[in-house]
């Protein structure tokens, strides 16, 4: 009667089946032999419907992100580490220290367990490296053709720094716009991977957890007004959001925004604009002008901010336009997403 | 140039398209004109990548649940209220007061905005009724055929009651097993709906938020050992989980477990066992025998616990079997899920 329980999960050759989502023994086995084994920590080990956590010494921040990236594995990462990094970054740019993650999986019947195990191992690695454990989770299975392999929603809990009050609504005319490095790596890596393009220098996603960089930056400049990780829609979308929330305009300098050579080549080939390409490890930070040098120094001292630069200024604008002085000496409006959509980039 | 922005979302006739997940203007419009408008609260209005929340006065609880129920609308509810109730219940049965929800949506291209609006309105209503706001969210869109309409992951944050220490691992021989009402309503409502079965008395899902009932119960009996909402896999799965976590056995009395007549009829027709059918508003509670009467009285005094009953006892068992004295005078083992799987019940 208990034999089904004693046969271990066949992670090498097995596939996700509907019983893995039924809430019965197969679900328990998948959770224990794959998820808990990889992601193990004292909270997950509690084995209840949620995690009991310590008291949080500060105001809470909560952020959630569904991840539906396609392909699930791409140069520089996979949906597993992306789901960890993306939510850590959402919490961090609120001016908070990320503490815990919850992860919920929607799996398609027939998905290879070996690939799922790689994804979970990648989550475990990135969560360990970031010091932010996955403390609770859930798994559902849908019939073949009703999902696309694996979708992962991660939700992050953090605590706000007491002396920081960052929001997209706090940018003011005169503030400076800082960017932590070259743009478009993640979006172009995904696109190149979909189109089977190869370049002399391969394009690799920049997926990374930014909370370390953000922490150093806020230590140096607690007066930071606003931060964003420039994911879907690229720095164009992130800056337009801030412009609208703060009821300001911005003027960027194209010459200050760097794009790696292979990313530039991919953009030309595919007709993409790097301003709109997703990044998964780049920080936009807006701060008062008198703190710009201190902020840049703090960013450049961190491995993920070595190429940090001031890329523009906030200015008054009744129309809340984000504009850009181009390399050729002209000026253009950097509108919200223009041209083609890039679905399932994250 | 800004015209696209001034045309309101066509909620009546419009459909989800890939641009709604692009992170650009269409995403912002969907979020503002549908999600934020319905779910509005001070936290969601912050408009950042996450929500800034007050300091939590207690130990935290975090629980997450993916909802993939099919059909999306069913007698007695829909995926929207289910996603709110399910996660509130997961937090509540940990012995915690649910405070906030995060919601992440995976939408299929082509899904009618009118149906999405109904789902979000249902979430808003149930969240308001429960007093647990949806404070942050995320929306992704996948291509037609890559998801099944709408998947919703909700994540709940709560605070533990200081004087309560409930866990599936705390059941002890001699404890009593209490159940808040008749079983199988949700699971049979979904199955009947899928099979297009109608009964004289319609079967309606029992989806409900249990935190009020749990609160009253814990006020009366803070010594509660373990609680579970008996969702996927029914009370059979929930009790087997507790038996395993606590290294105990259980002996149930079939005569004490009630099943509504139409649910019983549906089970006979479809060959289902109500012990394995999902419930979305039923509480299992395990407490020391000397507190059983007080617990039952507290449950019965609440609208969701009027039919509460003692359905069994915890006992020593090296094999951790959940057994049941049947109505016919026999005894059977109530194993983990047996027979057919019931996919996508929640």
Alpha-carbon span B221 to B215, nearest angstrom: 10
List chain A residues with CB under 8 Å of B153.
64, 66, 104, 106, 138, 153, 155
Any B CB within 8 A of A61 CB: yes
Closest partner CB to A48 (pick from B23, B94, B138): B94
Digit-coded pLDDT (tens) for B218-259:
999 999 999 999 999 999 999 999 999 999 999 999 999 999
Side by side, the strands of the sheet bearing B176-179 are: B226-229, B283-287, B176-179, B309-315, B249-253, B322-325, B331-333
* Mean model confidence pLDDT for chain A: 94
Which residue in the block uniquely carries the two structure tokens 């960017």? A179
Q: Which of A46, A61, A237 sits opposite B50 (nearest CB)?
A: A61
Per residue in A181-215, pLDDT (tens digit) is 999 999 999 999 998 888 888 899 999 999 999 99
B237 touches chain A (CB under 8 A): yes
Is the CB of residue A37 less than 8 Å from the CB of residue A123?
Answer: no
| pLDDT at residue B32 is higher than 50 | yes
pLDDT on residue A4? 46
Range picked from A8-22, A245-259, B259-273 for highest mean pLDDT: A245-259
pLDDT, one tens digit per residue, over B154-178 is 999 999 999 999 999 999 999 999 9
Give how far Cα B30 sits from Cα of A240, B4, B10, B161, B265, Å. 16, 13, 10, 38, 43
Which of A64, A141, A233 lies closest to B102 in CB terms? A64
Which residues, including other chains, have CB under 8 Å from residue B309's CB and lie 6 or more apart? B178, B179, B256, B257, B258, B296
A119 CB-contact burial (10 Å; exposed 0-12 / middle 13-18 / buried 19+): buried
pLDDT, tens only, B267-306: 999 889 999 999 999 999 999 999 999 999 999 999 999 9
Q: Among A75, A107, A97, A274, which residue's Cα sits nearest to residue A192? A: A75
B19 contacts A241? CB cut-off 8 A = no
Measured in residues, chain B has a length of 346
Q: How far is CA A96 from CA A143, A279, B160, in A?
A: 39, 20, 22
pLDDT, tens digit (0-9, with 9 covering 90-100), for B174-186: 999 999 999 999 9
| Interface touch B24/A59, C-beta < 8 Å | no
The pLDDT confidence band at residue A292, using thresholds 50, 70 and 90, is very high
Q: Band the pLDDT of B3: cuts 50, 70, 90.
A: very low
In chain A, residues 186-225 whose CB comes closer than 8 Å to chain B = none
Helices (H), ranges, chain A: 3-6, 25-30, 37-39, 79-92, 113-130, 185-194, 211-220, 234-246, 261-270, 292-300
Q: CB–CB of A248/A192 below 8 Å?
A: no
pLDDT of residue B24: 82
Establish if B301 touches chain A: CB-CB under 8 angstroms: no
Percentage of chain A modeled with pLDDT above 90: 87
**Encoding tokens for residue B273?**
């066992």
State how far the Cα of A161 lies from the Cα of A219, in Å rounded to an integer: 10
Average of pLDDT values for A120-147? 97
Q: Which residue of A has its CA nearest to B162?
A: A55
On the question of pLDDT at B4 being above 70, the answer is: no
Interface residue of A39, A142, A153, A243 to substitute, partner B, most B CBs within 10 Å: A153
Interface test with A, best of B26, B135, B140 (most A CBs within 10 A): B140
Surface of A (148-187) touching B: CB under 8 A:
148, 151, 153, 155-157, 160, 167-169
Per-residue model confidence (pLDDT) at position B47: 86
Q: Please state the rounded mean pLDDT for residues A164-186.
A: 97
Decide if B280 touches A, using CB distance below 8 A. Answer: no
Query: Following DSSP, what letter does each residue of A125-188 receive, concatenated?
Result: HHHHHHT--EEEEEEEEE-TTSS-SEEEEEEEEEEE-TT----TT---TT-EEEE-S---HHHH
Cis peptide before A71, with omega less than 30 degrees from 0?
A: yes
Q: Which of B30, B292, B11 has the alpha carbon at shortest distance from B140?
A: B30
Label residue B338 exposed, middle or buried (CB < 10 Å: 0-12, 13-18, 19+).
Answer: middle
Q: What pLDDT shows up at residue B340?
A: 55
Domains of chain A: residue spans and CATH = 18-160 (3.30.1330.10), 168-333 (3.90.650.10)
Instruction: Assess B100–A contact: CB distance below 8 Å, yes or no.
Output: yes
Sheet holding A96-108, edge to edge: A134-142, A96-108, A150-160, A59-67, B51-55
Which tens digit of pLDDT belongs to each residue from A295-313?
999 999 999 999 999 999 9
Residue A5: pLDDT above 90?
no
Q: Is A65 helix (H, G, I), strand (E, B) or coil?
A: strand
Which residues 6+ apart lie within 8 Å of A204 measured at CB? A75, A76, A185, A189
Give the residue on B whose Cα is nearest the Cα of A234. B23
């Amino acid at each position: 009667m208990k034999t089904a329980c004693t046969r271990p999960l066949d992670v090498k050759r097995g596939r996700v089946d509907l019983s893995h989502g039924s809430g019965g023994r197969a679900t328990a086995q998948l959770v224990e032999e794959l998820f808990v084994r990889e992601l193990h920590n004292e909270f997950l080990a509690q084995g209840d419907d949620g995690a009991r956590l310590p008291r949080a010494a500060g105001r809470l921040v909560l952020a959630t992100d569904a991840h539906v990236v396609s392909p699930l594995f791409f140069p520089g990462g996979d949906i597993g580490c992306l789901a960890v990094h993306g939510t850590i970054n959402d919490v961090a740019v609120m001016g908070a220290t990320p503490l815990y993650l919850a992860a919920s999986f929607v799996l398609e019947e027939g998905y290879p367990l070996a690939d799922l195990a790689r994804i979970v191992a990648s989550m475990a690695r990135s969560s360990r490296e970031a010091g932010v454990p996955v403390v609770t989770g859930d798994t559902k299975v849908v019939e073949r053709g009703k999902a696309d392999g694996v979708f992962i929603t991660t939700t992050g809990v953090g605590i706000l720094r007491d002396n920081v009050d960052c929001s997209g609504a706090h940018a003011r005319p005169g503030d400076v716009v800082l960017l932590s490095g070259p743009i478009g790596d993640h979006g172009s890596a995904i696109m190149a991977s979909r189109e089977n393009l190869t370049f002399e220098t391969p394009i690799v996603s920049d997926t990374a957890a930014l909370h370390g960089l953000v922490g150093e930056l806020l230590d140096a400049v607690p007066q930071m007004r606003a931060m964003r990780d420039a994911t879907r829609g690229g720095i164009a979308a992130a800056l337009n959001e801030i412009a609208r929330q703060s009821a300001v305009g911005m003027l960027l300098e194209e010459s200050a925004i760097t794009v790696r050579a292979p990313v530039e080549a991919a953009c030309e080939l595919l007709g993409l604009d790097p301003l709109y390409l997703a990044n998964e490890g780049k920080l936009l930070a807006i701060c008062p002008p008198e703190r710009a040098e201190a902020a840049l120094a703090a960013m450049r001292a961190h491995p993920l901010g070595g190429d940090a630069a001031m890329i523009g200024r906030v200015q008054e604008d009744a129309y809340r336009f984000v504009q850009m002085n181009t390399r050729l000496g002209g000026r253009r409006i950097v509108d919200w997403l223009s041209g083609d959509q890039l679905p399932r980039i994250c």
